[in-house]
Amino acid sequence: MADMSDLTGELIDGRYQLIRNIAGGGMATIYEALDTRLDRKVAVKVMHPHLAQDEKFVERFIREAKAAAALSHPNIVSVQDQGWNQSGVPAVFIVMEMVEGHTLREYLNEQGSMTVRDGVKFLLPILSALSAAHKLGIVHRDIKPENILISKEGRIKIADFGLAKGTLIGETMTAEASVILGSVSYLSPEQVSRGIADPRSDVYSVAVTAFEMFTGEKPFSGEEPIQIAYMHVNNRVPKMSAMTNNIPEALDELIYRATNADPDKRPRDASEFHFELSKISIALDPKQNQMSLELDIPVEPMRPSRKSRKEKNKAKKDEKEKTIVLKEPSINKIETTAQVRKRKRVSKRVRRNRFIAFFLAIALGAGGWYVLIGPGSKVVVPSVIGGTESDAQSTLKPLGLTSAVVEKRFDEEIPEGRIIESIPGGGGRVDANGQVKLVISKGPERYEIPTLAGLTPEAAVNLLAKLPIKVGDISEEFNSTIPKGFVISSTPKTGEKVKRDSLINILVSKGVETVNLDSYVGKSRDQALNELTDSGFIVVPKDVYDEKIMAGLVISQTPAGGAPATKGSKITLLVSKGSEYVYIPEAITGKSLAEVKNLLADLEIGIKFNYIKKSGKNWSMTPKPPLKLKRGSKVTIKVW
């Protein structure tokens, strides 16, 4: 086999200092490294040198980087860089975020299986991540416990999109290569027999992984990988209830459906699988907080106002009257010559009437002389409309007339202080030295809304009753500053001026909004943070060691679940960091000093060196292994 030497200590691409080998496989080795540019830990996946000569393997390696880089999800290991080492040892590499923790495989090896509740909590973020991939047309094709990571903080992440395919990253390898590179225990039947994969293939692999999580066993076992692969093709994955007790029926049926050999009978993608599993999760724990996304409630359209029958009849009557007026004709007939002659042959009666009219005209003329010129004459009043009272006095005084304001009236057209009307009006007559009466405008009729905030609704209504305006709706809403039962505001607002009979709506405080908190004890830190923050609370998580509660789960909360809490208030969560103690086995005494340093650093154990001989290779530890220590403790290593 070609050289697959350890590259620990190498500086890749002038940037990534390889610190130690943390994992290896048939295709690449993964190193813990330091990004010297950003001074942070990263994971660098370096392809084995003998494979770097194979274009297909290099293409697949780069495809993995592109597949993961196309995804941005908290439960997917993010890819940060990819390239070829330009100086030093030839190497094709991918740079990923460093996830410190362990794989689901290691967890299952240690624990054997999971409880239903813990297993569902593991599966939901896995399906959430795959759902994001499937929506982009990316299929993972190699879901297995080895590719599911659990960080020290308890966050679950999917890694290794090396077999991924999709429209964003192009097609992948042949069916044969897929079978060789994929893990046969989790491959779907269509991947084995036809070399094809779609989102339903990932659904199958997740379901098989779930089968192992809940039962502690894989559905099929055999001496050769190819035997296991074809068992998936020819045999039906059994129900979990056939291998273990205490599996809820709904969960048993869902996993059984998801492992169907016919892809059409499985959930169509990870989103549907996630939806079905979420319903089971809620059924297992009905107290889970369920957020409604229906934020926009459609408002009913305004309905046209209905006039009373009396108003309608009045309107009809008015319209009829208008019509009658409009129908009065003005007729101009053209007379014929005969008609003119006939008209001119006036009768005796008409001539008599004309004689009488003549004498009446003389009488009217005499009367007009008396009124206009004679002793009965009066002063003609000039128009003063639109002027001020002062303007009217200036106009009337030269005529020997005086003025007096007899009324002040609101008017929408004439500004305040201007004359609306005079009595008599312009062109009318008044006795010499007489008086003209004036009506002055008070301007538009408006009333200022008084301050209602802080009053009780009853006091606000009584205050508004003093004005010719009406109280409209009195509604309530939660408010963090105005006490319950007191007015928050009005519409229109305080200080605005409104017309007579305007409606004033009043908003009254229901006090501070409180809700009964759900309990998040035993649930994940992420779920508690997301749901409580979305509900309007300020969440303060505190990480502590706990010997019983798994890392990343909530140990306790303050206020406790079921207690009423004010929206916007602070919720304190105590979150497990896992066990405070670490175990140093006796086997460590057989390792080199360098290996011991790395192991103790991973276990967060400090070292005090006692050098008898600087270049010595022999060492001993005090206290002696095996031993159990708190994280952060120190041991003394003597070197000679």
Q: Return the active site residues.
A: 142
The CB density around residue 428, as the number of other CB atoms within 10 Å, is: 15
Structure tokens, 433: 């030295």
Give yes or no for a cis peptide into 267 (omega within 30° of 0): no
Query: In angstroms, rounded to a whole number, what is the distance separating the alpha carbons of residues 574 and 566?
Result: 20
φ, ψ (nearest 5 deg) of residue 38: -105, 0
DSSP code string of 470-485: EEEEEEEE--SSSPTT
- The angle formed by the CA atoms of residues 252, 139 and 25, to the nearest 5 degrees, is 95
Q: At what angle do helices 199-215 and 104-111 cross, to 10 degrees?
A: 20
Closest CA relative to residue 394, chosen from 419, 430, 377: 419
Question: Residue written as tokens 């001993």?
Answer: 620
Question: Residue written as tokens 């009466």?
Answer: 437
The CB density around residue 438, as the number of other CB atoms within 10 Å, is: 24
The two beta strands, 538-544 and 570-576, are parallel
Residue 401: partners with Cβ closer than 8 Å, 6 or more residues away: 379, 381, 430, 433, 434, 435, 436
Give yes or no for a cis peptide into 625 (omega within 30° of 0): no
The CB density around residue 579, as the number of other CB atoms within 10 Å, is: 17
Neighbour-count burial of 160, counting CB atoms closer than 10 A to its CB (0-12 exposed, 13-18 middle, 19+ buried): buried
Query: In angstroms, rounded to a whole number, what is the distance separating the alpha carbons of residues 60 and 82?
Result: 13
Is 229 within 8 Å of 187 (Cβ atoms)? yes
Query: In angstroms, rounded to a whole number, what is the distance separating the alpha carbons of residues 188 and 116?
Result: 24
Q: At what angle do helices 249-258 and 270-284 cross, to 10 degrees?
A: 170
Query: In angstroms, rounded to a whole number, what is the distance separating the alpha carbons of residues 503 and 501?
Result: 6
Query: In angstroms, rounded to a whole number, what is the distance separating the alpha carbons of residues 417 and 503?
Result: 28
Q: What is the CA 569 to chain-centroid distance, rounded?
A: 20
Query: In angstroms, rounded to a whole number, what is the distance separating the alpha carbons of residues 566 and 515?
Result: 7
Is 607 within 8 Å of 597 (Cβ atoms)? yes
